[in-house]
């Protein structure tokens, strides 16, 4: 605001970004320059709010202020980078800022809650919904939205969701190369008319079936429940479960055959499971059957695990904000002002015929 003609006691306006501070300056008949001796300070920041020289009761130029809630005594370094680190790994943002106590406190509390909840649910409680076709999955979406704040594990779950719902993730009846794995399951042989538990190893490889079709063939070598050794040939029908699923075991079923004399003869069936790699089952979405089975196994601990992981994600939202803006504080936390009154100004006030009004400041939003 530029200087204006004198018209009684009118407020001088100090514009800043959001609020306006009105300061009443007493008018002087002799045109003497009045000075605002003590600068105004925001109760939310130690930075200077306004200090200008006034003539005839008006400020001659605008005073611009910036009001921040953060405490300038806390070195935040690069706040945006710290917020990203705090999101990805709770506690990492404060570690980057050198706020070691908070870093350790947040890491222990949030990771402790989250990992305990995951362990209660056999590491299957974080399930990201598909990015497309979310109809009927509102409960899963709300749960995942709360868990998302925990950062890296939630992003991994989102990536696993994309892999799980992709067109390539389907049961396998053809192999690109040899496969060897440990096997646990049951073997049924028609010659014995019995079904028994067996353990051992399967050796599978791609082969050519009838009419040139690509099939899987192989062998199973192991022992039965009585300790007897078993060595059988597998094919023509061998099927493996989806490569990516929430179960740590991948189902396998195969036909036991005998191709002696060039003629394929079916002897029975082998069905069980082989291990699935860690990357292909951790935080992968559950299908309806797996979800019902997990509820049956855990009972009330399923809800408890869900609550723990959701609380961990919501708490980390506050941690991210603290890393970005720093701690907030209010009245009474600002340092004591060391400004002293100007003796020249005090002498000028004493020479006036009328007693001068004391400056009064008030904030108007």
**Is 228 inside any structural domain?**
yes
Q: Return the SS3 of 213.
A: coil
Cα–Cα distance between 301 and 350 in angstroms, integer? 78
| Residues 354 and 269 occupy one common structural domain | no
| Residues 296 and 227 occupy one common structural domain | no
| Residues 184 and 269 occupy one common structural domain | yes
The structural domain count of the chain equals 3
Query: What would you measure as the largest C-alpha separation in the chain, in angstroms?
Result: 130
**Is 29 inside any structural domain?**
yes
Query: DSSP state, 66?
Result: -
| Domain endpoint, select from 217, 246, 280 | 280
Q: Are 283 and 153 in contact (CB under 8 A)?
A: yes
Cα–Cα distance between 250 and 185 in angstroms, integer? 11
**Is 318 inside any structural domain?**
yes
**Is 359 inside any structural domain?**
yes
Q: Which residue range forms the structural domain that includes residue 35?
A: 11-69+333-364
Q: Return the SS3 of 128.
A: coil
Are β-strands 214-224 and 20-24 bridged in parallel, bridged antiparallel, or unpaired?
A: unpaired
What is the percent of the chain where pLDDT is above 90?
46
Angle formed by the axes of helices 300-325 and 288-298, to 10°? 100
| Residues 156 and 305 occupy one common structural domain | yes
Cα–Cα distance between 101 and 7 in angstroms, integer? 58
| Residues 260 and 305 occupy one common structural domain | no
Taking the CB of residue 11, how many other CB atoms lie within 10 A of it? Answer: 18
Sheet holding 360-364, edge to edge: 11-15, 20-24, 360-364
Q: Classify residue 329 as exposed, middle or buried by CB count within 10 Å of its CB (0-12, 13-18, 19+).
A: middle
CATH number of the domain bearing residue 192? 2.30.29
Question: C-alpha distances in angstroms, 308 versus 48, 52, 124, 354?
Answer: 45, 55, 13, 70
Burial track 273-294 (b if 16+ CB lie within 10 A, e otherwise): bbebeeebbbbbbbeeebbeeb
Q: Which residues contact 238 (CB under 8 A, 6 or more apart)?
A: 173, 204, 215, 216, 217, 218, 252, 253, 254, 255
Q: Report the 3 state secondary structure along 135-201.
A: CCCHHHHHHHHHHHHHCHHHHHHHHHHHHHCCCCCCCECCCCCCEEEEEEEEEEECCCCEEEEEEEE
193-250 residue pLDDT tens: 566 899 999 999 998 776 667 888 899 999 988 888 889 999 878 999 999 999 999 9
Enumerate the H helices of the chain as residue ranges: 79-88, 92-96, 100-120, 138-147, 152-164, 288-298, 300-325, 343-350
Question: C-alpha distances in angstroms, 201 versus 112, 181, 182, 220, 272?
Answer: 38, 6, 4, 6, 11
**Is 112 inside any structural domain?**
yes
At residue 74 the predicted structure's pLDDT band, cuts being 50, 70 and 90, is: confident
101-135 residue pLDDT tens: 999 999 999 999 999 999 999 999 999 988 776 65
Q: Which residues contact 50 (CB under 8 A, 6 or more apart)?
A: 14, 16, 21, 23, 36, 39, 40, 63, 65
| Residues 115 and 134 occupy one common structural domain | yes
Which is more confident, 47 or 193? Answer: 193
274-294 residue pLDDT tens: 999 999 999 999 988 898 999
**Is 3 inside any structural domain?**
no
Which is more confident, 141 or 280? Answer: 280
Q: Is the dihedral of CA 286, 290, 293, 297 positive or negative?
A: negative
Which is more confident, 290 or 2? Answer: 290
Nearest by Cα to 239 from 227, 251, 223, 230: 251
| Residues 275 and 191 occupy one common structural domain | yes
Cα–Cα distance between 71 and 82 in angstroms, integer? 16
pLDDT (0 to 100) of residue 152: 95
Q: Is the dihedral of CA 129, 134, 310, 308 positive or negative?
A: negative
| Residues 248 and 294 occupy one common structural domain | no
Evaluate if residue 177 carries a pLDDT over 60.
yes
Nearest by Cα to 318 from 22, 83, 120: 83
| Residues 65 and 118 occupy one common structural domain | no
């Amino acid at each position: 605001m530029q200087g204006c003609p004198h018209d009684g006691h009118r407020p001088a306006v100090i514009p800043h970004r959001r609020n306006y501070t009105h300061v009443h300056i007493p008018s002087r008949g002799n045109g003497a320059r009045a000075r605002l001796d003590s600068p105004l300070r925001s109760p939310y920041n130690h930075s200077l709010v306004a200090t200008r020289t006034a003539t005839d009761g008006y400020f001659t130029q605008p005073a611009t202020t910036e009001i921040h809630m953060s405490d300038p005594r806390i070195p935040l370094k690069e706040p945006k980078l710290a917020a990203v680190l705090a999101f990805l790994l709770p506690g990492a943002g404060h570690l980057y800022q050198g706020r070691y106590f908070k870093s350790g406190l947040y890491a222990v509390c949030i990771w402790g809650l989250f990992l305990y909840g995951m362990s209660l649910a056999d590491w299957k409680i974080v399930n990201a919904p598909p990015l497309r076709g979310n109809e009927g999955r509102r409960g899963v979406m709300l749960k995942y939205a709360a868990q998302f704040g925990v950062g890296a594990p939630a992003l991994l779950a989102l990536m696993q969701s994309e892999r799980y719902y992709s067109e390539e993730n389907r049961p396998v009846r053809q192999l690109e190369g040899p496969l060897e794995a440990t096997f646990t399951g049951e073997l049924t042989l028609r010659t014995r008319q019995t079904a028994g538990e067996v353990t051992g190893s399967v050796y599978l490889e791609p082969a050519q079936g009838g009419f040139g079709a690509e099939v899987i063939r192989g062998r199973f070598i192991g022992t039965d429940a009585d300790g007897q050794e078993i060595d059988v040939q597998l094919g023509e029908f061998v099927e493996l479960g989806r490569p990516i699923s929430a179960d740590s075991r991948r189902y396998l079923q195969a036909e036991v055959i005998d191709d002696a004399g060039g003629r394929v003869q079916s002897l029975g069936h082998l069905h069980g499971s082989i291990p699935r790699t860690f990357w292909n089952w951790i935080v992968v979405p559950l299908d309806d059957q797996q979800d019902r089975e997990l509820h049956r196994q855990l009972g009330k601990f399923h809800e408890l695990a869900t609550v723990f992981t959701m609380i961990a994600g919501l708490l980390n939202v506050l941690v991210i904000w603290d890393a970005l803006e720093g701690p907030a504080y209010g009245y009474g936390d600002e340092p004591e002002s060391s400004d002293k009154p100007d003796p020249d100004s005090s002498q000028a006030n004493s020479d006036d015929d009328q007693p001068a009004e004391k400056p009064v400041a008030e904030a108007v939003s």
